[in-house]
Amino acid sequence: EVVLIHIAVSCRWEEERYPEGIKWKFLEHKGPVFAPPYEPLPENVKFYYDGKVMKLSTKAEEVATFFAKMLDHEYTTKEIFRKNFFKDWRKEMTSEEKSTITNLSKCDFTHMSQYFKAQTEARKQMSKEEKQKIKEENERLLKEYGYCVMDNHKERIANFKIEPPGLFRGRGNHPKMGMLKRRIMPEDIIINCSKDSKIPAPPPGHKWKEVRHDNKVTWLVSWTENIQGSIKYIMLNPSSRIKGEKDWQKYETARRLKKCVDKIRNQYREDWKSKEMKVRQRAVALYFIDKLALRAGNEKEEGETADTVGCCSLRVEHIKLHPELDGQEYVVEFDFLGKDSIRYYNKVPVEKRVFKNLQLFMENKQPEDDLFDRLNTSILNKHLQDLMEGLTAKVFRTYNASITLQQQLKELTNPDDNVAAKILSYNRANRAVAILCNHQRAPPKTFEKSMMNLQSKIDAKKEQLADARRELKSAKADAKVRRDEKSKKTVESKKKAVQRIEEQLMKLEVQATDREENKQIALSTSKLNYLDPRISVAWCKKWGIPIEKIYNKTQREKFAWAIDMAEEDYEF
Ligand SMILES: *[C@@H]1O[C@H](CO)[C@@H](O)[C@H](O)[C@H]1NC(C)=O
Ligand SMILES: *[C@@H]1O[C@H](CO)[C@@H](O)[C@H](O)[C@H]1NC(C)=O
Ligand SMILES: *[C@@H]1O[C@H](CO)[C@@H](O)[C@H](O)[C@H]1NC(C)=O
Ligand SMILES: *[C@@H]1O[C@H](CO)[C@@H](O)[C@H](O)[C@H]1NC(C)=O
Ligand SMILES: CC(=O)N[C@H]1CO[C@H](CO)[C@@H](O)[C@@H]1O
């Protein structure tokens, strides 16, 4: 029934500041690694316009190659994509090229495209030595640029390479898809490091845009990308000490909310009756944020490009009110595109007072009017700050996600289960949270195939079990006749074999259930961003589950601070 599902992974970097009190004294790094310069195509690779060979200028050729590389992709058939691309491509052309190339449908990129495919193929066929050489070069770059010194620690940098230029893709039907993502130059780059450090040198012949010394921001390098005008950052790896500290503070804030959430709830319930419309709207919005884990909405970006909304920017058309629906009273039906164009669809019974207020807010309005016309994100955020220091809509999500995980773990873990079944319970608890946070995904392309593989493994295991059982039966019969030590031993070992295979079978079956249930849910977003890792660590300790079963290597690095804390019974 749900049509529009995108993978819920955000790649947007937000301007993150360290919480009050966290700052560095010394920061030294080498700056970013730029994308390699453009290498013109060999003479024999041709571009054709209207059936005739045409030699392009270097700048126009570079942009043409971006399109050629995507030729097999559905994007290049989409009208918006083609229109945006052509407009930006023409800006890179010489005036002669501009006057000749006037119709994208007459451009033939197939030869270029074939050349790139052959290159990809050649890379796959590379010799061991060539691969080794590339690997060594990558390691050299990592060693030189991949680390910085912060105070007395050497820390890994998360993304020290700047993305190469190309065509913007965007999610969904992004109106800017196909536009040229410019090459980032040193002149675009702002460096942040300490005054007394060795300031990174720009590439020869170039200058940085600016060098700053701000020890409260989390980034080392920043620039503005040209498509959406958003600021991009190079930051430390999540495993770094300072990031860990920030992570820890986030969960501490959620714990503080736990202590005062009752008071906040009582307050907004009172406010539903307020004489002031503004206060009523604020109180209903807050109820949604608390109850549905909605986002507040972004003050800057929202609405600008893709038509996505948050709680404060909901419009009348995004909700439907049902006095009664499927046997429930006062149901609100939500349907809108949230962050990253992920559809939010939900039918929720709400309290009568909320329902009556919503009716009031919708009176005499058009579908495209704001539901909360007296409210905006900054007003709501300011109010949250007044309720509790450091409180944002996100803290409600973190709080609800973490407490839900804890409750679900308590409910679902069966002490008598083996390790595999306990991990299934953990994943189910994690899934409950992911559903709550609306972290859907499209089923992976390989899903059916991998399920079939698993199923054939299960079938094979079942046959193996039947064989083993038969062997056990005949060994028992044999032992009855012979009544000697040797045949008794055979029976024992056959029994063990049956048990072992039974366990293996169960493990596979648990895996299959887990995978099936996981089909449309992305667990990692909540796992990485909303679940207090100390809960998971405590759960593992309590039931003797190795932490590796819950967190992979990168996750263990990120949550090193929590794993080190080693609390037996963590009360969130
Ligand atoms: C562009 O070229 C295509 C293919 O030759 C042709 O069908 C189309 O009519 C042309 N469009 C314009 C605006 O000339
Ligand atoms: C968390 O969110 C769910 C879903 O809206 C809600 O039913 C539940 O009461 C919330 N739990 C807490 C403790 O806030
Ligand atoms: C939000 O509303 C307040 C008060 O009406 C106004 O001062 C402020 O500029 C608004 N902020 C935004 C981002 O629209
Ligand atoms: C660990 O899981 C994350 C998803 O949360 C994935 O992106 C990452 O590649 C995994 N790392 C390893 C080392 O398997
Ligand atoms: C964006 C920003 O906060 N820039 C800071 C960079 O560092 C200088 C010197 O410490 C500050 O004055 C700026 O405010």
| Residue-wise pLDDT tens digits, 421-433 | 999 999 999 988 8
Q: What is the pLDDT of residue 406?
A: 93
Cα separation, 116 vs 495, in Å, equals: 59
Q: Is the CB of 213 under 6 A from ligand 5?
A: yes
Q: What is the pLDDT of residue 7?
A: 26
- Full-model pTM: 0.59
Cα separation, 540 vs 537, in Å, equals: 5
User: Considering only CA atoms, which residue is closest to atom 12 of ligand 1?
Assistant: 103
Structure tokens at 60: 């126009």
Q: What is the pLDDT of residue 9?
A: 27
Report whether 199 contacts 207 (CB < 8 A). no
Q: Which of 535, 512, 337 is nearest to 433 (CA)?
A: 535
Q: Which of 111-115, 218-222, 560-564 has the lowest mean pLDDT?
A: 560-564
User: Considering only CA atoms, which residue is closest to atom 1 of ligand 3?
Assistant: 376
Q: Which of 19-33, 53-67, 495-509, 556-570 has the lowest mean pLDDT?
A: 19-33
Angle between helices 393-412 and 377-387 (to 10 degrees): 60
The reply to whether 49 belongs to the active site is no
Cα separation, 194 vs 186, in Å, equals: 19
What are the CA-CA distances from residue 277 to residues 3, 247, 284, 519 (Å)? 36, 37, 11, 43
Separation of CA 299 and ligand 3 centre (Å): 10
| Residue 47 pLDDT greater than 50, yes or no | yes
Which pLDDT band holds residue 4 (cuts at 50, 70, 90)? very low
Q: Which of 79-93, 321-335, 396-410, 554-568 has the lowest mean pLDDT?
A: 554-568
Separation of CA 296 and ligand 3 centre (Å): 14
User: Considering only CA atoms, which residue is closest to atom 11 of ligand 5?
Assistant: 214
Q: Is the CB of 51 under 6 A from ligand 1?
A: no
Mutate to test the pocket of ligand 1, among 50, 103, 107, 108 (most ligand atoms within 8 A of CB): 103
Q: Which of 14, 111, 9 is nearest to 56 (CA)?
A: 111
Q: What is the pLDDT of residue 3?
A: 29
Amino acid symbol at 304 = E
User: Considering only CA atoms, which residue is closest to atom 4 of ligand 4?
Assistant: 524
Separation of CA 90 and ligand 2 centre (Å): 53
- Own/partner long-range contacts of 237-241 (Cβ < 8 Å, ≥24 apart): 237/155, 237/156, 237/157, 237/158, 237/557, 238/158, 238/557, 238/558, 239/156, 239/554, 239/557, 239/558, 239/560, 240/150, 240/153, 240/155, 240/156, 241/150, 241/153, 241/155
518-530 per-position pLDDT tens digit? 887 778 888 888 8
Between 186 and 570, whose confidence is greater?
186
Q: Is the CB of 264 under 6 A from ligand 2?
A: no
Structure tokens at 98: 């501009």
Between 169 and 301, whose confidence is greater?
169
Across residues 204-223, what is the average pLDDT?
A: 87
Mean pLDDT of the chain: 87
Between 571 and 367, whose confidence is greater?
367
Which pLDDT band holds residue 6 (cuts at 50, 70, 90)? very low
